[in-house]
Structure 1
Amino acid sequence: MLPQQMLLLAHDARRDRLDVASTLVRGPLLRAAAVAELALRGSLRAAGGWVERVAGARPGDPFLAAVLDAVPHDRPRRWLDVVDEDWHRAEDAVLDQLAAAGTLRTRRSRTWNLFPVRHAVLAEPARAQALRDRVRDTVLGGHDPAGLPIGDAVLALLAADGGVASTFDVREQHRHRDAFRAVAHRVESRLPGLREGTLYALAARRAAAS
């Protein structure tokens, strides 16, 4: 699923830890990935610049279910509000899922004996690298955007907008800016409103930390 894949993309394989550059915004990125997953499944849909819940079964995945519950059955919400709500719980929730599945193992420590840090070590780095290669190829492979798998396009756009340096560095984003714009258009045409709401959420997290 997209949230779990998003977190794997944020793993820095060279240092065997989560990407430092995206630390501040990883929560909103994971929630945005969950919103995209729910929208692609038909549980959420765009409604005049807002997002509304569609009647149907609640997903069995607890993280997806929690994100879906942020949208009441009878009241649309702004994309920003859904992406930003409980952002601080998202990373631990998805890490717990990946640890339970045996995809990675985690341990906790403190930086300078003050700040809590949760480390993540992959059980199968090659699988995460294959995912990263696939998502990178979505942008860098010269493909027709119309034919791109929408899930991979979402992951590529979130990684770029979130500054996930373990997937795309700044120079790549500048060098291939036309390809990134094409991917953004592909996502926005399928999930209108999601990117704008996500960008506002990312900006809010960065501003709060400055």
Structure 2
Amino acid sequence: MHYGTLSLPARLFLLAWSLDRKRFTGGPDLHLAVRAGALAELAQRGLLHERERGGAVVPVAGSRTGDAVLDGLLDLIERSRPRKLRGWITHRSRDTLTAVRDELAAHGYLRTERRRVLGLFPVRHWEPERTGYAETLHAETLAVLRGPRPVAEVGQGEAALVVCAAAGKVRPAVTGKDRRRYKDRLEELTDRSGGASPELRSTMRDLRKALASAVAAAETARSSDGAGGDGGGGGDGGG
């Protein structure tokens, strides 16, 4: 798995690496963004569609990509009851996060160390094997989001990466200030992620809305429970 061929969910995971704090942060809903990235890539490959009636997600039966994470999600969708995009963003989404992390580790992009919190509780600490990959991804993501590169020259995968990072609030890659300042460009990037297909553009718009809704619901639930923090599924002991 060469760096240039990393899947969309894998790139979203690496975007959660904080260049300043030297650890994975990404926000507490990284698993939702990573799952949305997997759904986006499957849709862009033509392997996932929304039904016109009801909006349930329909996979292309028997199709596979050769990527263990994407194929695992296809298999899950095939053998589960029908769900809309929002349902597939949340249903067992941490499974996809764990699968992405394990795949990156297996291919030499991540390394893990076992540590003890307070000298007692064992946790695993993950970090990139080569931080240059994360640094490059951060720079490329911000360049796509902020311009001045015309949206028409942005690739569909690049556009989807930025859209999922923004809607999923993957910190520190895309800040709240960025989301507000480049709101119009994010709309353009959402359409760009669908290419020339009206059906795919509609799916990508729905996916962005579904991800934003899932994150908002998770934030509300944490607020009600009095839980906070920026845990991030990729952090110490997370996922």
TM range (shorter): 0.7 to 0.9
Equivalent-residue separation in structure 2 for 1:128 and 1:31 (angstroms): 19
Tell me which residue corresponds to 1:39.
43
Q: TM-score, normalised by structure 1?
A: 0.85
1:55 CA drift (Å): 2.9
Q: How far apart in 2 are the matches of 1:38 and 1:193? A: 14
2:84 aligns with one of 67, 70, 78: 78
Correspondence 1:22-37 to 2 at 5 A: 22=27, 24-37=28-41
RMSD: 2.5
Instruction: Summarize deviations over 1:112-143 as a string: whole Å, max 9, x none.
Output: 67987543221211122112211211111123
Q: 2:23 and 2:208 mapped to 1: Cα distance?
A: 27
Give yes or no for the alignment of 1:147 onto 2:153.
yes
Q: 2:221 aligned with 1:208, yes or no?
A: yes
Identity value in percent: 34
* Mean Cα deviation higher: 69-78 or 154-163: 69-78
Aligned match of 1:3: 9
After the TM superposition, which parts of structure 1 deviate over 6 Å for at least 4 consecutive aligned residues? 113-116
After TM superposition, the structure 1 = structure 2 runs for residues 11-160 of structure 1, keeping only pairs within 5 Å, are: 11-19=17-25, 22=27, 24-48=28-52, 49-72=55-78, 76-109=82-115, 118-160=124-166
Provide the aligned length of Structure 1 versus Structure 2: 208
Q: Does 1:196 align with 2:209?
A: yes
Q: Deviations over 1:16-75 (max 9, x none)?
A: 2112x51x2111111111111111112112222332111343233222122112323797
Q: Structure 2: which amino acid aligns with 1:193? A: D
Unaligned runs of 5+ in 2: 1-6, 195-200, 224-239
**Alignment match, 2:168:** 162
Unaligned runs of 5+ in 1: none
Of residues 194-203 and 132-141 in structure 1, the stretch that sits farther from structure 2 once superposed is: 194-203
Question: In the aligned structure 2, how far is the partner of 1:106 from the partner of 1:209?
Answer: 28
Q: Secondary structure at the match of 2:174?
A: coil
What one-letter code is carried by the residue in structure 2 that aligns with 1:154?
A
Q: Report the Cα distance in structure 2 between the residues aligned to 1:27 and 1:160, rounded to whole angstroms.
A: 14
**Per-residue deviation, 1:197:** 2.0
TM-score (norm 2): 0.76
